[in-house]
A and B are shown apart, each in its own frame.
Chain A
Amino acid sequence: MDAVLRLITLQDFNTRVVLGGATVLGVACGVVGVLAMLRRRALMGDAIAHAALPGVCLAFLIAGGRFLPALLVGAMAFGLLAILAVTVVRRTTRVKEDAAIALTLSVFFGLGIALLTSIQRRAGSDHAGLDGFIFGKAAGMVTQDLMVLAGVSVVVLAVVAVFLKEFASLCFDSAFAASIGRSVTLLDVLLMALVCLATVAALPAVGAVLVVALLTIPPASARFWTDRLSTMLVVSGAVGGAAGAVGAGVSSLVPKLSAGPVITLSATAIFVVSMIFAPLHGVVPRLVRQRRNRQMVAEQSRRVAAELSGGSG
């Protein structure tokens, strides 16, 4: 109980850093996720996150240790490589995008597992601190690391803010965007680069396997609340931030609990609540509206029937 109190009241500096960092990561993923979802690239983040694992391992081997900025550069490089692989397969063959994504994701991840196993066997029982990249580990992170990750997320948010109008036209009417002289290809590349950055920044905290949760669940939750892009970005960012903070907090309280699953399930909880109760598209308000409509129609037809019978009588 004492630990919970300390966590909630943010007494430790480290707690504040972890929660703050996780929140910023969640916000960035939530915001970028909206754009990715609207552009029908929701699962590219999944491929990028899985593909980042071999990048992390190679960077670990090259840098000779767990030096976070190097690992992030490795992750970023392989994330971009995954995007390239999916694009090449989609453009040059009859193989469809879904197969391209699934194959890229699993093959790159397999490479990562092979490298990770080699590293672990060489390092003996020491897991070399790379395990966290699979299921995520927010609590054990050093302040400096979190600052780097939060910094990357802030850059992502800034770029989205600057190019918001361009992204909106890309997501809703790419033909229009092209017709007014915007380069759709360039914007798509920028969007994918942002997804890649946000994914990579979230990687150490959430883990390769579950980053996709932070990229898809907050936007899908926000979809129930609004039909406007700007509102949706804010709601999705808020959901992502909340999930990040709650997940990181809970996993730091319970030993041996990876942050990734907890962050994911926090987001899922918000999603379920949104799906049921959100005023605009939620299931319950929708049922209430339907009921009210039906009553109104029944009422009016009764009145009309009464008037007709009164008029003829």
Chain B
Amino acid sequence: MTLTASELWVMATAAACAGACALCGCFLVLRRMSMLGDAISHAVLPGLAGAFLLTGTRDPLVMLLGAGAVGLLTTVLTAAIQRFGKVHEDAAMGVVFSSMFALGVLLISRAADKVDLDPSCVLYGMIETVSIDRVGLLGVELPRAFVVLGVAFGVNVVLVTVFFKELRLVCFDSALATSMGFAAGAVHYGLMALVAGTSVAAFEAVGSILVVAMLVGPGATAFLLTQRLGRMLWIAVAVGVACAAVGTVAAVWLDTSYAGAISVALGGAFALALVFSPREGLVVQQVRRLRLALKVRREDILGTLVRMAESGEREREHAGRLAVLNRGLGRVAAWQLVRRGLVAGGALTGAGEAEGRRVLAAHRLWETFLATEVGLPVDHVHDPSERFEHFVSGEMERELRVLHAAGVDPQGRPIPGGGGGGVG
């Protein structure tokens, strides 16, 4: 499938828009202010409409001033209502932005008699018609929206690069930023201004609601993929641009709205990251959980086998426990033990016994610790130790051994490999 020239311009414009939005969106996601982005993108509407009705032009600078003023007003009003009305920030925000948006829609539908303005365009933009309205730039005819959004992207790149250090500090520790002499408040309002400006630039192309997807989608996706701010910004821009391209192609293919398809693509990217992120995706989380569960079962089986070998007592109890452990996931664990050469023919091998004694040692060290240091009654220390035994590092084990040099657990049984045996 090949795209026509105007469809390619749509794609380029959407990509510039997504790039610009992705950059400031990352900070919204990190500062937990995504809904403020939503609020601002709604609230700029009366600013745009008002500026247009007052001046009669669609000059970007006038629009930017009008929308910027209203965007700032939104933050101030939200804070005021929150304080005087004793309501939470989200409710205050809901009051302000829905009122603003309603006012904007009303203004536009009143003005619609005079000019060609459709109220529903404010929701999903007019990127379809992007290549009709052109401006000359350096001797080339370019779509106006593409130029506006390209400039917005460039400005955002420059600002984020220049103020990277300040933004990072304010995002992760605004108290520290203040104590170091950075004006955290100024950075906050600067960020709001950036979001308002970007929303205005994006407004005409993708409308007030899909701009939210472009602001939050790439940032949230990148947030799942990395824990470094610099990398997050790169990934977010890449995700935004890629989704703009994929969404445009999908919209052409399915003959539907560009803005709608692009935001669905952004949702898809987030869903993919949610499931497959190598760092914290659902798949990785499940694999990690399964691995841990298997490790616990393996260690439980080894520990039980060592206990059985250690004393002839309570053989039936141990055997019963072994049978329980051998069910379900435990079967896999038992198979793994055989495969790793720790268990052969239902009995421990040399390596298996060493490993089992290590688990038992951890268990009894924990029991001793819980009884002597925490002060739990002796008959209450077994159950927690049964859980803790799987989580003991070499360092922790050494510390526990130093504390309990006697080498016997509260029930008087020897702690394998400990002082009783004269080792370490």
Contacts and interface: CB of A to CB of B under 8 A. Distances in A.
A96 interface: yes
Interface in B199-231: 209-213, 215-217, 219-220, 223-224
B261 A114 contact: yes
B105 interface: yes
B87 interface: yes
Interface in B277-298: 280, 282, 285
A113 B259 contact: yes
A271 to B, nearest CB: 6
A149 interface: no
A37 interface: yes
Contacts of B262: 110
Interface in A264-283: 264-265, 267-268, 271, 275, 281, 283
A209 B260 contact: no
B35 to A, nearest CB: 5
A60 interface: no
**A106, A210, A223, A271 — most chain B CB neighbours (10 Å):** A106
Contacts of A110: 124, 209-210, 213, 259-264, 266-267
Contacts of B255: 118, 121
B38 interface: yes
A105 interface: yes
Nearest to A282: B84
Interface residues of B, number: 62
Given A275-B81, A281-B84, A113 B210 contact: yes
Interface string B113-130: 000000110011000000
A262 B255 CA distance: 34
A114 B34 contact: no
Interface in A43-102: 43, 46, 50, 89, 92-96, 98-102
A94 B285 CA distance: 12
Contact of A106 (B90, B95, B103, B209): B209
B274 interface: yes
A117 interface: yes
A213 B87 contact: no
Contact of A213 (B29, B102, B106): B102
A42 interface: yes
Given A121-B255, A213-B98, A105 B212 contact: yes
Contacts of A109: 123, 209-210, 263
Contacts of B155: none
A256 B118 CA distance: 12
B349 to A, nearest CB: 40
Contacts of A21: none
A40 B210 contact: no
B109 A258 contact: yes
A101 B34 contact: yes
B87 A95 contact: no
B34 A98 contact: yes
Interface of A: 37, 40, 42-43, 46, 50, 89, 92-96, 98-103, 105-118, 121, 131, 134-135, 209-210, 212-213, 215-217, 219-220, 223-224, 256-258, 260-262, 264-265, 267-268, 271, 275, 281, 283, 286
* Shortest beta-carbon contacts, A-B, top 9: A110-B263, A114-B260, A107-B267, A216-B94, A264-B102, A106-B213, A213-B98, A113-B260, A117-B257
